Amino acid sequence: MEKDFRFNLEETAGAIGDYGTLLPIIVGAAVVTDISLSTILFFFGLSYIATGIYYRLPIPVEPMKAIGAIAISGALTANEIAGAGIFMGIILLVVGWSDGIEYIKRYIPRWLIRGIQFGLTLILLETALFFLVDDWRIGILSVAIIFAFYFTDVTDISSLVVFGLGLVIGIYYYGFPPVSYLTIPELTLPGLSELGTGFWSGTLPQLPLTLGNAVLATSLLITDLFERRVEEKKLVKSMGLMCIISSPLGGFPMCHGAGGLAAQYRFGARTGGSNIISGVILLIIAFFFASPDIIEIIPYGVLGAMLVFTALQMFRSAVKTEKKTMMFLTGILSYLTNIAVGFIVMFLLHLAIKMFSSDIQNFQG
């Protein structure tokens, strides 16, 4: 039991390791759309606790990034986001229960998944630099604190230290966040046009990213970090359930992710206890402090410093392939366009190379 669940400073530090990517996306989506931030955080908290108990590992729960980016740009309404999440839930459950992910996995080369990890490394670094430039003094101090823990023989609770420091600074300048009570989730079913827009503008761009990063890359990274096997279909099913339950009730579409796993692991998460701690923290915020003002009291320099070390953890996994050229090409293309495009283009290139090689062999034969 102790191996599966620990509740100590290391697990607590790891629990908040992924907040640097989680909070900006969901707060941004809540501000642009009319989705209740308290409802979003409520379902994230419950999902973190449930996945921690089920997997007994620090499996991240993240907002679906493609849907989040599109929502923040103003291209999706709250009901259209719900429609995108409902369709994601249905598709993922069908893929999971039909063993479709095994068929997909059979045709996707390992270097392609490593390339997605490298693409995420570049995206995380870009976001980190944006945060650090915006708040460079606190950013440099936060990086120095994390380095100090890394090179000293003490328990690495650097994320707790820098996060706590950031909260103190934020509260000093902006005051304590106002009390904002949980909004009771209400069932809201999108209309046909909203379902259609959600599917076309949200689900389709998100699907390759989910299958590549949240399923295949995450499963691979779990093996890299913990030497334990978590079947891809389990990840697909849990994401499908999270989406199909929360989306019609005002939640935001949720997934797992290799980047979040790298972040949690880097800052000390090793068991399902970390997920439970993270879930409890998010539920407390959801019940009492879920106003968009919450993001203002966390300095961007703190988030940027945490993302830098998350990116480095991801890069260590990305380079674990013999076909580094294809991996780098995939990552760079994913960074310059987006992960879905990089995934699709490089997969089609992989198929073309296989067909060309087969034709050459047949010709020689």
DSSP conformation letters of 230-286: --HHHHHHHHHHHHHHHGGGT---EE--HHHHHHHHHTT--SHHHHHHHHHHHHHHH
Beta carbons within 8 Å of 208's beta carbon, 6+ residues apart: 339, 340, 343, 344
Residue (of 255, 246, 254, 253) closest to 185 by Cα position: 246
- Separation CA 92–CA 89 (nearest Å): 5
Is residue 40 classed as helix, strand or coil in its secondary structure? helix
CA distances from 148 to 75, 152, 309, 365 (A): 43, 6, 13, 61
CA distances from 340 to 98, 208, 222, 261, 359 (A): 23, 5, 22, 20, 29
The predicted structure's pLDDT at residue 361: 61
Beta bridge partners of 254: 63
Q: What tokens appear for 248 in the block?
A: 């019609």
The predicted structure's pLDDT at residue 363: 55
What averages of pLDDT result for each successive group of 10 residues across the chain (365 residues)?
81 87 78 85 97 95 85 84 96 91 83 85 84 87 87 77 86 82 85 92 83 89 91 95 96 92 90 96 90 74 81 81 92 85 89 77 57
Q: Rounded to two decimals, what is the model's pTM?
A: 0.80
The predicted structure's pLDDT at residue 364: 57
Give the gyration radius of the chain's Cα atoms.
20
The predicted structure's pLDDT at residue 1: 45
The predicted structure's pLDDT at residue 28: 72
The predicted structure's pLDDT at residue 91: 95
Beta bridge partners of 289: 180
- Percent of the chain topping pLDDT 90: 39
- Separation CA 339–CA 333 (nearest Å): 8
- Separation CA 265–CA 228 (nearest Å): 14
| Other beta carbons less than 10 A from residue 234's beta carbon | 16
